[in-house]
Structure 1
Amino acid sequence: MTTAETSTADTTETAAGAARTDPGAAPRRERSAVPVQTRSGRPTSFDPDAFGMPTGREVNWKLSDVQRLAPLFVDEATETGEAQAIAYDVAAIEAAGYLVPSKGHDAPVRGEIFVPEDVTAALAWKHGEDALHIRIPEGETVDEPLVVRLVGQGADRHGQAHVVIEAQPGSVATVVLEHTGSAAYAQNVEIIVRDGARLTVVAVHEWEDDAVHAAAHQAVVGARAYLKHVVVSFGGGVVRVNPSMRLAGEGSSGDMLGLAFADAGQHLESQVYMHHEGVATKGDVLYKGALQGKGARTVWIGDVLIGHGATGTDSYEKNQNLVLTDGTRADSIPNLEIETGDIAGAGHASATGRFDDEQLFYLQARGIPEEQARRLVVVGFLMEIVQRIGIPALEERLAADIEAEIARGAGLAPASRAGA
């Protein structure tokens, strides 16, 4: 694997004894003429200045809406008090005893596995001094989803935050991050699934149309542990989520699922990374998108790395996009790196297109009107992701959201063959 740019920093020991990067250390950056092409080769740093201002020419920004994301590149502190960008509702989680104090950058657990990969994540680390830390105690099963409600207080409000979700050994839980309202909001989510734990994390983005949101989700999964990570994006002007999962422990497994429905003028983006590191790990990546209206755009970049020691790995990634009208754009780029020949299986797939005429003909031939037939095809296409979430109340709500999105675009002309 060729690496064009790297950074190093001093390390200290955390309370748990794991190596941790010192946020105050200045990184050493070595450059070459060869651009970074692989996700594993990208530079990392806690220092925002190490990344510079994105121009849209960088490999990790070239498909992003850099112009609208620009407010998140500004090195300024999170607004507080009456001018705060996000109002948090975690009262139920705190009352249940799952919220633990996390003050300052050196708080226990924080930064144990998280290292920023771009300037927005580095700024969120720098200015999100205190973290929201949810911890599931060892061996405990939490039956009801733990819901964090994040409500944007206005498009002119600028905020950053760091969230830690920690599942102790043998625990079982589901955490939902719900985003509504409007703000310019940069967010880091650090997910740690200890040995034998089973965790589901769902991020739902139902922002207003003028919201700008960039999030970096980084997860590590221990031995015989499992993580289901789901990203659902329906609202927001620009929503850019970069989820990564490291299957570090022997026998660890994970599912990375995503659903995006882009309307006119929306830019919904996910840059997904699954790193198989441990022996006999299993991973599945499935993201689906639907687009309607002029200027609607989705971006999906899926990177899978099967490391040298990840023998016996079974991995698959797929992205599918359904184009509902002309004037939309869906970018889909799957990448697969394999560094060992001893694997159970690995593959990837990508498909973007308009309605299947045969499906529509089949439904219409049975007396179903064309408009209803189109609705059934879209619902059936997207519900595969919804039904894998595993939270009945949320699944019902998202199904209604899909119906509302379809109704919103009912008056738009369907995509032509040329537009597909």
Structure 2
Amino acid sequence: MSLLTPQRPSEGAHTHSGATMVPDASRAERTASFEVADFPVPHGREEEWRFTPVDRLGAFFRDEPTGACLQWEESLPEGVTLSTLSVPQWRDLGVPAPQDRAAAAAAAHSGGVALVDVPAEAELAEPVRIRLTGTEQDLVHGHLTVRVGRFARATVVIEHAGVADYSEVLTVLAGDGSHVTLVTVQEWDDASHHLGQHDVVVGRDATVRHIAVTLGGGVVRLNTNTSYTGPGGSFEGLGVYFADAGQHLEHRLFVDHEAPHCRSNVEYKGALQGETARTVWVGDVLIRASAEGTDTYELNRNLILSDGARADSVPNLEIETGEIEGAGHASATGRFDDEQLFYLQARGIPEDEARRLVVRGFFAGVVARIGVPEVQEHLMAVIERELAGGGE
């Protein structure tokens, strides 16, 4: 485990990162653009793509529309509306620009942006639910924006399933003083590929919780980027993932602290079972010079359940001001705790059941904070099935 709590860095930017990061590279220097041509086709040697099997994703980088769609089902509580924007109208909302070629292509060629609007001061008794299902191995450009008004309280659950190559741009605009929980569930068939850019814009004194649950798909790569429009904002990024043999599940986060007196907390936990199971977690936090009073922490834990699985975990922390409340990160990857297994088996619990109990306990702290009981119950049931399948 690597743990750092820096205090009052010296003049100029201070960067602490995993040993694999390019030395002195600033996350702020990455390209962000609405133009596809501003991003070269990745070859896998670039810092932001070197963990990703880009040879399996060529279609995602083409600068052309496909016209393919996913099946869409929604359940909207009273007062919530669904409409469609053109891409220029979407850009007029002041949304963040795409940060890689796949996201830029998805934004440019989606054919329109689905806009879910939660009115100001609304308090939703039920979640907004959207289910997207693929039926063919076609490339689909998906584009969704969730806009939550001032002082509103809302939970949004987005589920992905079926077979598809899905390139996604998802934007969450949280109004001042709002409380928003977004749960995104990736439960694709093994043949599916999913690249997504999730942008979370946190308003003044707003609280946003982004939860990524990734349990299926051949290749899934989600980039979650968070920014703040005013002081007092709070972001919590939670993630749970379980990779089987042949799966590549990758989660990247970038928390850009520019406004003062904001906080962020990131916690992702993953398990890997089966030879060639692969996960990647990269957490970037940038505290700019203007972000005095920032309080941030990020944590990643990975549990290796069988030989041949590999988990990469890279926390990066960049600080440009010493006037902060706190900043730190931790990362660890390991196998079963033999003492825990021995303790359970010594009390008459069979080994297989003991393993399941240990895995359930590993995930329990994150799952309990999802806040949507049916999602929590479903997640634990799927994890049970994954364990029973032995990583196949």
TM-score past 0.5 threshold:
yes
Q: Which of 297, 307, 320 is the matching residue for 1:316?
A: 297
The aligned residue for residue 125 of structure 2 is 143
Question: Does the CA contact (< 8 Å) of 2:288 and 2:320 recur in 1?
Answer: yes
Q: CA deviation at 1:205?
A: 0.2
Contact kept in structure 2, 1:247 and 1:254, CA below 8 Å: no
1:338 aligns with 2:319: yes
With over 3 angstroms needed to count, the CA separation of the structure-2 counterparts of 1:221 and 1:87, relative to structure 1, is same
Superposed, 1:240-389 pairs within 5 Å as 240-389=221-370
Helix, strand or coil at the partner of 1:102: strand
User: Deviation at 1:108?
Assistant: 5.3
1:117 aligns with 99
Deviation at 1:383, TM superposition (A): 2.2
User: If the length of structure 2 is used for normalisation, what is the TM-score?
Assistant: 0.92
What letter corresponds to residue 359 of structure 1 in structure 2? Answer: Q
Cα distance in 2 for residues equivalent to 1:191 and 1:252: 14
Matched, 1:87 2:71: yes
2:36 alignment partner in structure 1:
48
CA offset at residue 96 of structure 1?
3.6
Instruction: Look up the SS of the partner of 1:272 in the other structure.
Output: strand
Q: Is the 8 A contact 2:79 2:118 kept in 1?
A: no
Q: d(CA) in 1 for partners of 2:170 and 2:84? A: 14
Could you report, residue by residue, the CA deviation over 1:302-340 in whole angstroms, capped at 9, with x for unpaired residues? Answer: 001112121111110010000000011100000001111
- Alpha-carbon RMSD across the aligned residues, in angstroms, is 1.7
| Offset of residue 251 of structure 1 | 1.0
SS at match of 1:279: coil
Q: 2 CA distance for matches of 1:400 and 1:290? A: 15
In the alignment of these two chains, the number of paired residues is 373
TM-score relative to the length of structure 1: 0.86
- 5+ residue gaps, structure 2, are 1-11, 14-21
Work out the CA distance in 2 between the residues paired with 1:110 and 1:231: 27
Q: Which has the higher contact order (CA 8 A, sep 6+)?
A: 2
What SS is found at the alignment partner of 1:107? helix
Residues 400-419 of structure 1: per-residue CA shift (max 9 Å, x gap)? 11111111117x8xxxxxxx
Residues 16-65 of structure 1 deviation map (CA, whole Å, 9 limit, x = unaligned): xxxxxxxxxxxxxxxxxx99833221011111121111100111100011
Instruction: Give CA-to-partner distance per residue, 1:134-171, whole Å, 9 cap, x none.
Output: 1110001011111110001212x111021101111000
Bigger shift: residues 364-373 or 47-56? 364-373
Matched, 1:75 2:63: yes
Cα distance between partner residues in 2 of 1:298 and 1:402: 16
Displacement of 1:98 in angstroms is 2.0
C-alpha distance in structure 2 between counterparts of 1:394 and 1:60, whole Å: 31
Residue 358 of structure 1: how far off its partner (Å): 1.3
The answer (yes or no) to whether the contact 1:283–1:316 under 8 Å persists in 2 is yes
